[in-house]
């Protein structure tokens, strides 16, 4: 395969400042050294990229014609699962290679969701052996949430029309059935058009039919939930709980909605150390595969030793057994502490997020 970079004396790389291991993994590629420039994701502009070969971003950088026109960028990688911040059609039209990091932080999200359900059960005195969870989206995250609930003996149903149409194995239910569940958790990409859009999938109509005392968790993308409708429903006095990790208009979170949540966090559901490391590593592999060259670094050498949660077989007090491994309440309280200036503090809460390790792989 030929590529425009073969004669370059040095790789020019621009990377989001919040990606770990870029210096370690990208110091040289195929024997050629790299010059790596780190920038805050929201502040990367076209002028930073004029002589850049490889752009490595996270979810806060909008990658489109405005950013990439008249630059040398030939590879864009996002160390995230979601790709709604990337104009994939534009990249394809320009022959710019692209990679995301599918599944990289799925385990962190699963742990966030399980801890959230357990916290809600404790707060609202629910018996998890009689609760039914509705999972919307059964990809990397949703299917693992299902597997985890299955192992714990918690009932669930799954909605995923695109998968159902592909005749994937498994039983799928429609959204009406999901709307009858005690807990609903969303794991869909943000898609605004096509056959199965997810923008405002959780609409006023959907929220109105939810049973009283149900819980809605959104850790997918803010606009999957109509935030205004969610607020209006609470204002109307409906007894429904929200656990929200993602928000319409981030970082400009609706403070009244935040006040009405059971748990509010600043888009950190997937923020395990391992998830971030896997994200960068998957891009390292993708760059080498694009160039058809070898890379010697092995993922295992960068992953920390993770703690192991041992389940005692009881659903009662589940939250108290999870809390030493993931302190959801601490995440919630850090966000509420910054409430008065959340728009300006949101990114800082994420940048300075405390180390969190995955713990659930031995259920």
Ligand X SMILES: NC(=O)c1ccc[n+]([C@@H]2O[C@H](COP(=O)([O-])OP(=O)(O)OC[C@H]3O[C@@H](n4cnc5c(N)ncnc54)[C@H](O)[C@@H]3O)[C@@H](O)[C@H]2O)c1
Three-state SS sequence of the chain: CCCCCCCCCCEEEEEECCCCCHHHHHCEECCEEEEEEEECHHHCCHHHCCCCCEEEECCCCCECHHHHCCCCCCEEEECCCCCCCECHHHHHHCCCEEECCCCCCHHHHHHHHHHHHHHHHHHCCCCHHHCEEEEECCCHHHHHHHHHHHHHCCEEEEECHHHHHCCCCCCCCCHHHHCCCCEEEECCCCCCCCCCCCCCCECHHHHHCCCCCEEEEECCCHHHECHHHHHHHHHCCCCEEEEECCCCCCCCCCHHHHHCCCEECCCCCCCCHHHHHHHHHHHHHHHHHHHCCCCCCCHHHCCCCCCCCCCCCCCCCHHHHHCCCCCHHHHHHHHHHCHHHHHHHHHHHHHCCCCCCCCCCCC
* 282, interface contact from ligand X, ligand DEZ, none, CB < 5-8 Å by kind: none
* 143 carries a ligand binding annotation: no
Q: Any bridge partners for residue 169, and if so which?
A: none
Q: How far is the CB of 335 from ligand X (least distance, A)?
A: 13
Which residue is nearest to ligand X, using beta carbons?
139
Q: How far is the CB of 59 from ligand DEZ (least distance, A)?
A: 3
Binding-site member from 98, 155, 189, 288 for ligand X (CB under 6 A): 189
Binding-site member from 55, 60, 186, 216 for ligand DEZ (CB under 6 A): 60
Distance CA 70, CA 80 (A): 25
Binding-site member from 82, 139, 161, 162 for ligand DEZ (CB under 6 A): 82
Binding-site member from 48, 139, 177, 229 for ligand X (CB under 6 A): 139
* 58, interface contact from ligand X, ligand DEZ, none, CB < 5-8 Å by kind: ligand DEZ
How far, in Å, are 100, 145, 264, 303, 344 from residue 141 at the CA level?
15, 6, 20, 20, 29
* 80 carries a ligand binding annotation: yes
By CB under 6 A, is residue 222 in contact with ligand X? Answer: no
By CB under 6 A, is residue 358 in contact with ligand X? Answer: no
Distance CA 243, CA 80 (A): 21
Q: How far is the CB of 189 from ligand DEZ (least distance, A)?
A: 9
By CB under 6 A, is residue 103 in contact with ligand DEZ? Answer: no
By CB under 6 A, is residue 267 in contact with ligand X? Answer: yes
* 20, interface contact from ligand X, ligand DEZ, none, CB < 5-8 Å by kind: none
By CB under 6 A, is residue 270 in contact with ligand DEZ? Answer: yes
Q: How many residues bind to ligand DEZ according to rule CB under 6 A?
A: 10
Stretch that binds ligand DEZ, among 1-9, 57-65, 170-178, 301-309 (CB under 6 A): 57-65
CB atoms within 10 A of CB 209: 10
Binding-site member from 220, 254, 272, 280 for ligand X (CB under 6 A): 220
Known catalytic membership, residue 274: no
* 160 carries a ligand binding annotation: yes
Q: How far is the CB of 148 from ligand X (least distance, A)?
A: 13
Binding-site member from 58, 187, 278, 356 for ligand X (CB under 6 A): 187
Residue numbers in the known binding site are 59, 80, 160, 245, 270-271
Residues forming the active site: 221, 250, 267
Where does this chain bind ligand DEZ (CB under 6 A)? 18, 58-60, 80-82, 105, 267, 270
Where does this chain bind ligand X (CB under 6 A)? 81-82, 103, 105-106, 109, 136-142, 159-163, 187-191, 196, 198, 201, 219-221, 245-246, 267, 269-270
């Amino acid at each position: 395969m030929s590529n425009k970079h073969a004669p370059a004396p040095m790789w020019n790389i621009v990377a989001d400042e919040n990606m770990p291991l870029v210096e370690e993994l990208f110091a040289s590629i195929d024997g050629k050294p790299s010059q790596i420039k780190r920038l805050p994701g929201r502040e990367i502009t076209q002028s930073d990229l004029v002589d850049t070969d490889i752009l490595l971003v996270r979810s806060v950088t909008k990658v489109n014609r405005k950013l990439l026109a008249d630059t040398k960028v030939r590879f864009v990688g996002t160390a995230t699962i979601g790709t709604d911040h990337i104009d994939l059609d534009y990249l394809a039209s320009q022959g710019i290679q692209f990679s995301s990091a599918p599944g990289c932080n799925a385990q962190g999200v699963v742990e966030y969701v399980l801890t959230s359900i357990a916290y809600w059960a404790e707060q609202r005195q629910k018996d998890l052996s009689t609760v039914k969870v509705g999972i919307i989206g059964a990809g990397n995250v949703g299917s693992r949430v299902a597997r985890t609930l299955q192992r714990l003996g918690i009932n669930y149903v799954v909605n995923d029309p695109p998968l159902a149409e592909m005749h994937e194995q498994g039983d799928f239910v429609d959204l009406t059935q999901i709307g009858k569940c005690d807990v609903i958790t969303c794991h869909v990409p943000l898609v605004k058009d096509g056959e199965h859009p997810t923008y405002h999938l959780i609409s006023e109509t959907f929220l109105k039919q939810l049973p009283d005392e149900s819980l809605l968790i959104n850790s997918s993308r803010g606009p999957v939930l109509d935030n205004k409708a969610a607020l209006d429903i609470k204002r109307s006095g409906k007894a429904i709980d929200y656990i929200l990790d993602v928000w319409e208009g981030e970082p400009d979170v609706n403070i009244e909605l935040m006040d009405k949540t059971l748990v509010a966090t600043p888009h950190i559901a997937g923020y395990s150390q391992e998830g971030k490391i896997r994200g960068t590593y998957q891009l390292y592999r993708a760059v080498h595969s694009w160039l058809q060259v070898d890379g010697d670094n092995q993922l295992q050498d960068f992953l920390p030793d993770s703690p192991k949660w041992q389940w005692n077989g009881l659903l009662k007090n589940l939250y108290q057994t999870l809390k030493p491994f993931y302190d959801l309440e601490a995440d919630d309280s850090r966000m509420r502490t910054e409430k008065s200036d959340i728009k300006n503090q949101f990114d800082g809460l994420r940048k300075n997020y405390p180390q969190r390790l995955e713990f659930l792989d031995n259920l």
